[in-house]
Structure 1
Amino acid sequence: MGSLALDSESENSDIYSDLGLKELGKGVSGSPRILSLLSSLLERCVQKNEKLLETMQIQDVATVFHGLRAPTISIQQYVDRIFKYSGCSPSCFVVAQIYVDRFLQQTDVHLTSLNIHRLLITSVMLAAKVFDDAFFNNAYYARVGGVTTAELNRLEMTFLFSLDFRLQVNVRTFQRYCCQLDKATTEGLQIERPIQACRIKESWSSKGDSTCAPTTAR
């Protein structure tokens, strides 16, 4: 079972609080800011990819994550639903974004309205299993995500093999994604290669600066 301690004395404490990754005080309600930031980022990535795919007349690679039609529920509504009913920690959504980026880096898949929902429920479920102290079984997450248990089991295995089962996330990478997500809405996400939108560069090495150095989505 992994752990990503949010050290209150670290220089990243303020951004963790700002994103709503720390426990809310008694009597405080509302959704963590990370949910709206992630939803907004993913919405823009999907729109950019779909526009570019249409312009270039490219057929995206079909996978088990692709549906025949886009779900009627928006990304924001879907993220809020997962958070409300899964009981996972807000940090799981940062980790889920890291997992999705790893998946995109290892495949020829692009984020679109046909696959983003299945990628979200699968990645959040895995993040909860790895980093939360308690989590539900696949049948429960399937009901939350609006898919069958058999389908979610298949999605999970495909996702795991695509990542080569590399589910650990070091603190440096976690901090980098937190900083980038925080900046994405205020400064606008810089896209070098729109067809691969929503890929924040991740260093697989343990070397490098641990501060919030700017990174570029790919």
Structure 2
Amino acid sequence: METTRFDGIDGFSEICIALGLEEYEKTNYSSSPPKILQIVAYLLEKSIQKNERLLRVKSRIEVEIITIFHGSKAPAMSMKRYVERIFKYSNCSTSCYVFAYIYIERFLQKRASFYLTSLTVHRLLITSVMLAAKFLDDATESNAYYAEVGGVSTEEMNELEMAFLFSLEFSLLVTAEDFAHYCQYLEVKVAGEIIGLRN
């Protein structure tokens, strides 16, 4: 992406480097995964906790509609470990995780009655990362490969992809400005919140 598009964002290059978006070396994975993974995992986990508290109250009044994105049970793997697994095996660029987060937000805005929970988050994440890689990267893995990484069948992966695309009305474009502002939000606000929780 051309840096001139981000002139309005102070320190955009530094934000990208802090998130691990600048030519992050796969060989560095064992020592320190890029910060974007931790941030995405944190935001998804936070949303899950909020929604599951809400659903415990709402379940007395209404029944949640089950979709293809609902697993029969929540995977034992934590959100952080799942994000890191996708990163380790998918070979997609780190910018895909910013795109994937944007796609999940768009998906949730289009489907107001859908809740991000421990039963839905893993399928949404693997689908959004796969679509981000297809849209953003020059070379990507097959649906069958992503299915294996994500812990679903190839048939399910294909169905998840189509359901996700139709929900987004096939709108996968993220403008340079939106990308820059999301990066700034993720690095400045969310990363600061995570550090605050540790102290």
TM-score (norm 1): 0.79
Identify unmatched segments of 5+ residues in structure 2.
195-199
Q: Contact between 2:47 and 2:116, CA under 8 Å: does it hold in 1? A: yes
CA deviation digits over 1:115-146, x for unaligned, max 9? 00000000000000000011011011110111
Please show how residues 55-134 of structure 1 align to structure 2 within 5 Å: 55-57=57-59, 58-107=62-111, 108-134=113-139
**Moved beyond 2 Å, runs of 4+:** 6-11, 24-30, 55-61
- Number of residues of Structure 1 aligned to a counterpart in Structure 2: 184
CA distance in 1 between counterparts of 2:150 and 2:26 reads: 29
Give, as a single letter, the amino acid of the residue that structure 1 aligns with 2:50.
Answer: K
Deviates more, 1:46-55 or 1:176-185: 176-185
Tell me the C-alpha RMSD between the 2 structures.
2.0
Relative distance call for 1:61 and 1:6 in structure 2 (3 A) is farther
Identify unmatched segments of 5+ residues in structure 1.
189-218
CA distance in 2 between counterparts of 1:145 and 1:52 reads: 27
TM-score (norm 2): 0.86
Identity %: 52
CA deviation digits over 1:4-44, x for unaligned, max 9? x1639854111111101001369755211000011011101
CA distance in 2 between counterparts of 1:15 and 1:77 reads: 24
CA distance in 1 between counterparts of 2:90 and 2:178 reads: 24
Give the helix-richer structure, 1 or 2: 2
Matched with 1:19 is 19
CA distance in 2 between counterparts of 1:153 and 1:34 reads: 26
Please show how residues 144-159 of structure 1 align to structure 2 within 5 Å: 144-159=149-164
Relative distance call for 1:113 and 1:15 in structure 2 (3 A) is same
